[in-house]
Structure 1
């Protein structure tokens, strides 16, 4: 490295240390990075002058005595980022301060709306935030969670929302002059598990997102694995069985046709001759010990167990996480999935439920766009997991 490159790297390392260890002090940063005090002080002063830091007062002196250190943290009033999850029925909107703390979360009904309607609603939402924003730099970046395949920051496929040729990056970067990042929603759930669950320090994980369809976010050696064309993790398309008709034509049966939340609802509707069921109806039927539903759920949990087994044999991760609001409401299903996996694999891989399933995707987006706003792509940042979620409706 030349001198400027070394300075830039050290500046980022100091910023990373402050983000991950707030509150901290210059002397602690010096110890952690093995940099001399004068170098750290110079880098610290640069970040302070740029407005990234906020001094919190004096800490405790060391056991050897001396001056009390000045404690510092990321300045949450520097600016904010936004993440929008473009769901089929709802637009999930999350505003977070630069330190990753939640400022505002809303769940907005968008069922039946076009992508153009959604864009108008997003612009209205941003305008409302800007009216109450008191930060020094305002909006710093936007992340979009896409229920489809994303490659090179472009939507390649979107099975549930017709994108109508809209380039979200161009539309929003032109309007707001900030970085705009697009990512698959299952990948963002995987990023959430990596960055908001730092205590586990798992090296490789797979997060299986079970909603309208099924997808997986894959973290290998702490990095998100997207594949060459953004298709990695499309495990809902895994073929579990193949039927043959009289003409010899093969009909594949895919995993998400059996075990996605929408597939479960559709099977119950067909079995009972009902229409317009939703998750709450499935939960009610389960608690009423409905026998038709029990059979459907048994097939679904076996299919998910099989997906986990096949993925385990392919990727060998440390743990699996299931991002599923339905399983979150019916935790007995997780017990069945674990039991089904044990019958197939006879090993003790961790299979856990993603906590805060509604916020997992947008919090993963928060991490992605915060990295971009701080110019810390490729640097590990650790975020605080919110204890509860209290979505509001608009």
Structure 2
């Protein structure tokens, strides 16, 4: 089958936008050489993108070794539009606004929220509307919204949420109709993987593990997000680590997240210490002070996480496994302690690291997803 000319032009335009988004700044000559389009085609497409304000000229670059005129450099126009990214936790709502280059302009956290099926859509509408009051002026305004779901998501629908009742709730449709922009629902670990991947040029196969109310993994294979047959890949929180162990909302027994999610860690710490108001920083502070309940619980968490990381390494053989959790951020040795327990000749070649963007990683992953959709590209470098 032969592509018609408009389709070929669209593909070439997408190639150029993607190159500029990932290689800033860029010249017309460089783009022509790197993506294999002739100079006339590149110049024509660049002119069109400039007229539509997707890219901008930023001055002259260095001359080539042959001399001649200095090239005019190009970069993505960050103020062509902006996106919103929302992390919908089991007891909080976190929202971030980003320009199209990934640079953030505002973030607001709503902690200790009651995430109720009956009110969450109206709550999100109010939060977004209020947040938009501070939005910057851009050419195309709001271009997309991503909502991170702590559960299983397939084809923009919520399939299963163990710690809040949002299954089959049409959040995307309701928000898209209200704000007249595309809205994407995505598993929070998948967004974490997109964020970690967008911060490096050298890693092509990574696993990003999210430890929050549950435990999940985002999988990048050959630079592509792997979702599985029904979009349910990476649900390592429901990997059985204790045969006939604790019951899990998924219907199984002995699942990983029943032993090392932050929610479970907090519940156990409160029970053992009698401190019903304790939060994760309290546990980590107690751990650093050598207090036995915290030390024992963190040690157990590391042991179970090491089992999971070993299994992941055997299944996918990634270059790096990233860990993202409040615990791993507050205990800098957390990832190293997991690494030390990976002793097989396969697993010990895999590097275990703290997630690059820390507590904002999921939000930046959501921003990247919405931006890539708007620009119709498959990868972009983040500038958080």
Same fold (TM over 0.5): yes
Q: CA deviation at 1:165?
A: 4.9
Matched, 1:179 2:182: yes
Q: Tell me, in whole angstroms, the C-alpha distance in 1 between the residues paired with 2:127 and 2:271.
A: 39
User: Where in structure 2 are the equivalents of 1:78-97 lying within 5 Å?
Assistant: 78-97=80-99
Distance 1:16 1:251 in 2: 43
Cα distance 1:251–1:315, how it changes in 2: closer, same or farther (>3 A)? closer
| In 2: Cα distance, 1:342 partner to 1:18 partner | 42
Identify if the C-alpha distance between structure 1 residues 6 and 114 changes in structure 2 by more than 3 Å, giving closer, same or farther.
same
Any idea what SS the aligned residue of 1:107 has?
A: strand
Which residue is 1:331 aligned to? 332
Structure 2 segments unaligned to the other structure (5+ residues): 246-250
Hey, what does 1:383 align to over in structure 2?
A: 382
* Residues 354-369 of structure 1 aligned to structure 2 (within 5 Å): 354-369=355-370
State the Cα distance separating 1:276 from its structure 2 match.
Answer: 3.1
Cα displacement (A) at 1:115: 4.5
Offset at residue 126 of structure 1 (A): 3.3
Contact 1:149 1:157 in 2 (8 A): yes
Give the distance between the partners of 1:81 and 1:333, measured in 2 at CA: 33
Distance change >3 Å, CA 155–CA 38, structure 1 → 2: same
CA contact (8 A) 1:204 1:220 kept: yes
Deviation at 1:299, TM superposition (A): 1.7
Residue in 2 that maps onto 1:192: 195
What is the match of residue 16 of structure 2?
14
Match of 1:63 in 2: 65
C-alpha distance in structure 2 between counterparts of 1:47 and 1:217, whole Å: 33
Count of aligned residue pairs for this structure pair: 377
Partner-residue secondary structure (3-state), 2:204: coil
Q: For 1:208 and 1:24, locate their aligned partners in 2 and report how far apart those are by CA, in whole Å.
A: 34
Q: Following the alignment from structure 2 to structure 1, what is the Cα–Cα distance between the partners of residues 167 and 297?
A: 35
Instruction: Confirm or deny: 8 A CA contact 1:110 1:118 kept in the other structure.
Output: no
Distance 1:22 1:251, change over 3 A: closer
Structure 1 counterpart of 2:129, from 127, 130, 134: 127
Task: Indicate which of 158, 175, 183 corresponds to 1:155.
Answer: 158
**Cα 1:71/1:109, change in 2 over 3 Å:** same
Q: 2:4 aligns with which of 2, 9, 31?
A: 2
Equivalent residue in structure 2 for 1:108, among 92, 107, 110: 110
Q: Work out whether 1:310 is the aligned partner of 2:311.
A: yes
Q: Where do residues 41-56 of structure 1 align in structure 2 (5 Å cutoff)?
A: 41-56=43-58
Once residues 72 and 252 of structure 2 are traced to their aligned partners in structure 1, the CA distance between those partners, rounded to angstroms, is: 67
Please state how far the C-alpha of 1:348 moved relative to its aligned partner. 2.5
Q: Which residue of 1 aligns with 2:287?
A: 286
> Contact conserved, 2:336 with 2:353, CA < 8 A, in 1?
no
Tell me the CA shift for residue 4 of structure 1: 2.2
Residue 168 (structure 1) aligned with residue 166 (structure 2): no
Check whether the contact 2:161–2:167 (CA below 8 A) recurs between aligned residues.
no
Kept in 1, the 8 Å contact 2:199–2:356? The answer is no
Report deviation, 1:356. 2.9
Per-residue CA shift, 1:197-216, capped at 9, x if unaligned? 22xx2221111111111111
Q: CA RMSD in A?
A: 2.2
Going from structure 1 to structure 2, the CA distance change for 1:56 and 1:332 (only over 3 Å counts) comes to closer
Query: CA–CA distance in 1 between the matches of 2:99 and 2:318?
Result: 32
- SS of equivalent residue, structure 1 residue 239: coil
| 2: CA distance, partners of 1:34 / 1:334 | 42
Q: Would the aligned equivalents of 2:159 and 2:167 in 1 still touch at CA under 8 Å?
A: no
In the aligned structure 2, how far is the partner of 1:109 from the partner of 1:42? 49
Structure 1 residues 156 and 92, CA gap change in structure 2 (3 angstroms): same
